[in-house]
Amino acid sequence: MARVLVTGRIPQPGIDLLEQAGHEAIVWAGPGPMPRGELLRCVEGASAVVSLISERIDAEVLTAAGPSLRVVSNVAVGYNNIDVPACSAAGVVVTNTPGVLTDATADIAMALILMVTRRLAEGERLVRSGRPWGWSMFTMLGTDIRGRQLGVVGMGQIGTALARRARAFGMSVVYSNRGEADPAAVSELGARRVEMDELFATSDVVSLHCPYTAETLHLVSAARLQTMKQTAYLINTSRGPVVDEAALVDALASGVISGVGLDVFEHEPEVHPGLLDRDDVVLLPHLGSATVETRTGMAVLAARNTVAVLAGQPPLTAVRA
Ligand code: DGY
């Protein structure tokens, strides 16, 4: 029986899989994220860690775990909370959960596009506020997205799934991507690959789907925001630090862009105070993958990765160092 540290509560089917494989799951049940001291204490002697994005898995954790540790299975597609090179150096496999959350996250990105362009959160706040309102010709006019250009930064699975949704709403799609995008999807969607500068300068909506790495930190900088159309909107469902949040607040305040929809924040869960009282801003509490079905799929995939590695088999979805 191997000890598997699960750094926070996950849907039960994930735990069941670990236990059916004969492993002991030690689950941090809260309240709140697992404190660092608890993580360092509980990881000692563990063979696997099933980690949530709230926990940083780095050299200190690997040292605390000791030589028994064989796999870190992140319950997320993003894995910027894990020091992958340190894990590789220690011979520890890292896995993530791509695929199972593609549609849920693309749905949230599409929802943010509609919310910000059609002023939906602002309208909802008005109705709830009890302030007087009534239909009128010029009340809370938004902007159509049909015929507008979506710029997808990172045409991986989620970016492609968003592009598919946007096409159904009548948008055209350009994208920029580090590697090759899926050629079949690109041709089906009529999506055009462009340089990042052109994407930001010509798109009506820019949506971020790149991983957070040293290269993408503040990819959306003050300078980059200045190149966007004044009528454009920015959507971020990837990771907060990809956007320089202070620069974004300045850009909104000075009318450089028209609005923003954010599901993630630079210093999550803190939100820049300059965003909080703006009506051209839609803020969600990192809900990208937050459906029962998707979170269950993520927990099950993380558990299957863990069980595979502990059985000496290749993981299903390994992260490349
Ligand atoms: C992910 O999978 O990276 C999400 O942000 C977590 O819900």
* Average pLDDT value for residue range 120-135: 97
Residues 47 and 125 reside in one and the same domain: no
Residues 186 and 261 reside in one and the same domain: yes
What's the mean pLDDT when you consider all of the chain? 98
Query: Known catalytic residue: 268?
Result: yes
Contacts of 318 (CB under 8 A, 6+ apart): 93, 94, 95, 305
What pLDDT, on a 0 to 100 scale, did the predictor assign at position 1?
87
What pLDDT, on a 0 to 100 scale, did the predictor assign at position 168?
98
Task: Indicate the pLDDT class of residue 242, thresholds 50, 70 and 90.
Answer: very high
pLDDT in tens, 197-213: 999 999 999 999 999 99
Quick check: 321 pLDDT over 80? Answer: no
Residues 139 and 279 reside in one and the same domain: yes
Residues 213 and 261 reside in one and the same domain: yes
Structural domain boundaries, residue 257:
102-283
319 assigned to some structural domain: no
Residue 262's identity, in one-letter code, is L
* Average pLDDT value for residue range 203-224: 98
69 assigned to some structural domain: yes
321 assigned to some structural domain: no
21 assigned to some structural domain: yes
- Is the Cβ atom of 301 under 6 angstroms away from ligand 1? no
pLDDT in tens, 46-100: 999 999 999 999 999 999 999 999 999 999 999 999 999 999 999 999 999 999 9
pLDDT in tens, 130-181: 999 999 999 999 999 999 999 999 999 999 999 999 999 999 999 999 999 9
317 assigned to some structural domain: no
For the chain, how many structural domains are there in total? Answer: 2
251 assigned to some structural domain: yes
CATH number of the domain enclosing 55: 3.40.50.720
Query: What are the residue ranges of helices labelled H in the chain?
Result: 12-20, 36-42, 59-65, 84-89, 102-117, 120-129, 157-168, 183-189, 196-202, 222-226, 245-253, 273-276, 292-310
299: exposed, middle or buried (C-beta count within 10 Å: 0-12, 13-18, 19+)? buried
Q: Which residue has a Cα nearest atom 6 of ligand 1?
A: 76
278 assigned to some structural domain: yes
Residues 69 and 180 reside in one and the same domain: no
Q: Which of 66, 75, 61 is nearest to 13 (CA)?
A: 75
What pLDDT, on a 0 to 100 scale, did the predictor assign at position 320?
85
Residues 120 and 231 reside in one and the same domain: yes
SS3 105: helix
In the reported structure, the alpha carbon of residue 141 is separated from the centroid of ligand 1 by a whole-number distance in angstroms of 33
Residues 85 and 124 reside in one and the same domain: no
* Average pLDDT value for residue range 260-283: 98
Query: Known catalytic residue: 272?
Result: no
Mutate to test the pocket of ligand 1, among 51, 53, 293 (most ligand atoms within 8 A of CB): 53
318 assigned to some structural domain: no
Residues 51 and 125 reside in one and the same domain: no
Residues 89 and 181 reside in one and the same domain: no
* Average pLDDT value for residue range 255-275: 98
Residues 82 and 68 reside in one and the same domain: yes
Residues 91 and 168 reside in one and the same domain: no
Query: Known catalytic residue: 239?
Result: yes
Residues 85 and 121 reside in one and the same domain: no
Closest ligand 1 atom, CA of 295?
Answer: 7
